Amino acid sequence: MTEALTALPEAPEEFVDVIGEKIRWLKKGSGEPLLVLHHEIGNPGWLPFYERLSEKFAVTVPDFPGWGQSERPLWMRSVRDLAVEMNLLLDQEGIDQVVLVGLGFGGWVAAEMATMNQRRCKKLVLVAATGIQPKEGEIVDQFLLSHLDYVRMGFHDLKNFDELFTAEPPTELLMDWDVHREMTARIAWKPWLFSQTLPRLLPGLKTPTLIAWGADDRIVPLVCGEQYRDALPNARLEILQGAGHFLEMEKPDELARLVTGFVGS
Amino acid sequence: MFIAYFTEQPDTSYPKEVGDRLGYTALLMPNEHFNAEAVSGLYQERLKEYLYVEEVGFDGIMLNEHHNAPFCLQAKCNIFAAVLAAMTSRVKIELLGNPLPVNDNPVRLAEEIGMIDLISKGRIISGFVRGGGTEQISTNANPAYNRERFVESHDLIVKTWTEPGPWRWEGNHFQLRVVNPWIVPLQKPHPRIWMPGVASKETVIFAAEHRYPFVALSTTIDITKKIWALYDETARRVGYEAGPETKGYEMRIHVQDTEEKALEAARHYMWMQGEFTGVTHPVWHNPAGYGSPSWRKQFVEMANGRRKNVANVDSTTTVEDLRTTGNIIAGTPDQVIEAVRHLLTELRPGILNMWCSDGGMSHETTMRCIELMGREVLPAVRQIADGLGLQSPFEANAPVSLAATPKQELQPVGA
């Protein structure tokens, strides 16, 4: 791993068993439970964004089944399957009230989870979420891009990429991204990174929702944020300047302040 | 010895500078550069060449299939197979092959191959492939399930050919309410199935476990010997001794009257910088989940510009380099015969696919190559093969599969 990644503050790691599969999560902080759901590139480590949140909340960041150190679910065929398994995990752990914060692909999972069980989801935060087909443009197809080109595209300022991953990240990290790319294909290949049915369900989701987007998101068009806002009855959209798709890595403090303010309101 | 003729059916009519500018010719090169008039003409030339191939004495014509790229004008190998079934009368039509994972209805494929087998009066050899990595993208076939789809499609096709319908198939990737096609192949229990491949261990093992000949595609002699060792070991484990009838080899082999002419023509093999699947971005060529997990590191390094392709070939490689390493055979009939003798002695295949023409080799050059092959090279190669005891599956009358092998003949070792 890169120096910057190994220098990240640590969070205790735990392994839990759900439907016979090993899931790993990182946990830190106390207070209201807040679950962060990672991008399709996986969770690179305990990011400063999580650290900021852990000052106010009991933050849990699981590796999705098939990502990071969680076991690959060979049976899983859709993002909705993934959302069901994540809800089963919360059932098992007795977490009845939770703030869901979904990053990119994790935002799609969070939205699916919330539509299944909105009484559990106290508040929902969708950060540059995939999951709905943009009215204009397309969600970038990483299968046409190298791992490096894709992740770099998600940054507004390449300096931010270099700081976290270095200008030439180690091959081991690229291999992780490849494993995660494969897992994404296993459950979201067609149509690519969106659901054809989720938009019809969103109007039934009354949960207060904050939608945050990087003004320079070149991976998921900003119009998706507007579509989420228009479909959800109780949502607002915040656009962060100077950030791309991975805005929690580029603007950790600003995004954490937004989330903290929204949850406390 | 079974000797077949092969060409990728290249389309050299697109403006070369477009590929040079883009850095790729497959998948995303805009098809506004497709020249329909020129390609129609190229197809007519290929048909004349195939007829001549039969006339001069080749045993087979090998056909293949690729998508979204000018390096191969066969977007469906069954189409040329159907045309040749009607136009030829003796040669075997060797499909190497139908890419199973990119097809959503295996029973339709089984029907198509059945029809061609009937029209050709039982001359089909039905090879199956996984399709190139780039093709998983161009056909939108999920690369993460490529191998699962390959295996399930294969199982379904063989069952369609061998078990009378109607029955139902509720598989993991394919579901069919009624499998009961009226048309089934002429050859019983089914046409021979051959498996071409390069580097995937899984494919070698699959072929050996089914007793299907494995056709190594231009791999080096050293790598090919490793493939044979894995094949032989797997064959013993499931109960049979794998002889030359289970081994196929494909090689770029070009003959002309003089060495100078042969080398001049052989330069056209390099038109795609020696990369036989056309010029693609390496990440398209190896989409996540498509390759063996044991190769992930290499694939990722290639995708991110940290390593040359597996064959270690790039735009600086010359035809002389490849001739020296034995990856291309080109010369006069005598030179070609000697090079092939070396190959056959080292590798002992019962099947030899001669990739005679590629790139911008003219129709006239190709016809002369075919003529010299038939008149001088093939008789000599057959004699060498007989001396080495290299029998084809047909000469050896080998069972078409492990399932078709009488149980009492199988003696598994170390299973």
For residues A210 and A124, the answer to whether their CB atoms sit within 8 Å is yes
Question: pLDDT at position B381, please?
Answer: 98
Nearest CA in chain A to B283: A146
Check pLDDT > 90 for residue A10. no
Contact A144 B28 (CB under 8 A): yes
Judged by CB atoms closer than 8 Å, whether chains meet at A171 and B306 is answered as yes
Looking at the complex, does the CB of residue B207 fall below 8 Å from at least one CB of chain A? no
Give B332's DSSP letter. S
**Alpha-carbon Rg of chain A, whole angstroms?**
17
Mutate to test the interface with B, among A75, A146, A175, A187 (most CBs of B within 10 A): A146
Amino acid at A204: G
B284 inside 8 A of chain A by CB = yes
**Which of B118, B46, B37 minimizes the C-alpha distance to B80?**
B46
Q: Do B289 and A182 touch (CB under 8 A)?
A: yes
Tell me the average pLDDT across A101-129: 98
Whose structure tokens read 């009937």?
B118
Does B300 contact A189 at a Cβ distance shorter than 8 Å? no
The chain-wide mean pLDDT, for chain A, equals 97
| pLDDT for res A119 | 96
| Contact call for B287 and A145, based on CB within 8 A | no
- Contact yes or no for B248/B4 (Cβ under 8 A): no
Q: Do A144 and B137 touch (CB under 8 A)?
A: yes
Whether residue A144 and residue B300 make contact (CB cut-off 8 A), yes or no, is no
* Helix (H/G/I), strand (E/B), else coil: A57: strand
pLDDT above 90 for A218: yes
- Name residue B62's amino acid: M
Band (pLDDT 50/70/90 cuts) for residue A8 is confident
> Is A148 near chain B, with CB under 8 Å?
yes
DSSP state of A202: G
**Parallel, antiparallel, or unpaired for β B2-7 and B60-63?**
parallel
Tokens, residue B223: 């790598």
Bond into B166 cis (ω within 30)? yes
For chain A, report the end-to-end CA distance as a whole number of angstroms. 38
**Residues of A with CB below 8 A from B145's CB?**
186
- Chain A, window 171-190: residues with a beta carbon less than 8 angstroms from a chain B beta carbon: 171, 174-175, 178-179, 181-183, 185-186, 189-190
CA distance B5 to chain A (A): 34
Rounded Cα–Cα distance for residues B362 and B367 (Å): 9
Residues of B in contact with A182 (CB under 8 A): 143-144, 288-289
Residues of B in contact with A191 (CB under 8 A): none
Residue B321's pLDDT is 86
For A230-255, what is the mean pLDDT? 98
* Per-residue pLDDT tens digits for A35-47: 999 999 999 999 9
Return all residues near A149 (Cβ < 8 A) that are at least 6 apart. none
Other CB atoms within 10 Å distance of the CB of residue B198: 16
Q: State the Cα–Cα distance between residues A5 and B72, nearest whole angstrom.
A: 45
Edge-to-edge strand ranges of the sheet holding A121-127 = A13-18, A21-28, A57-62, A32-37, A98-103, A121-127, A209-214, A235-240
**Interface touch B142/A185, C-beta < 8 Å:** yes
Chains A, B: CB contacts within 8 A come to 63
User: What is the predicted ipTM?
Assistant: 0.95
What pLDDT does residue B23 have? 85
Q: What is the pLDDT of residue B279?
A: 79
- Which stretch of A129-133, A202-206, B306-310 has the lowest confidence by average pLDDT? B306-310
Strand residues in B117-225 grouped as ranges (E): 124-129, 167-170, 175-179, 195-197, 214-217
Q: For A79, phi and psi rounded to 5 degrees? A: -70, -30
Tell me the C-alpha distance between A226 and A133, whole Å: 12
Separation CA B252–CA A136 (nearest Å): 48
Please answer yes or no on whether A171 and B143 come within 8 Å at the CB atom: no
**B373: Cα within 13 Å, side-chain hemisphere:** 31
Torsion of the alpha carbons at B21, B22, B26 and B30, rounded to the nearest 10: -100
For residue B204, report the phi and psi dihedrals to the nearest 5 degrees.
Answer: -60, -45
* Mean per-residue pLDDT, A237-247: 98
Q: Say what percent of chain A tops pLDDT 90.
A: 95
Question: Which pLDDT belongs to residue B277?
Answer: 59
pLDDT at A1: 66
Ranges of residues in chain B whose predicted pLDDT is under 50: 276
DSSP character string of B190-221: --B--EEESS-HHHHHHHHHHTPPEEEES--H
Q: What per-residue confidence (pLDDT) applies to B198?
A: 86
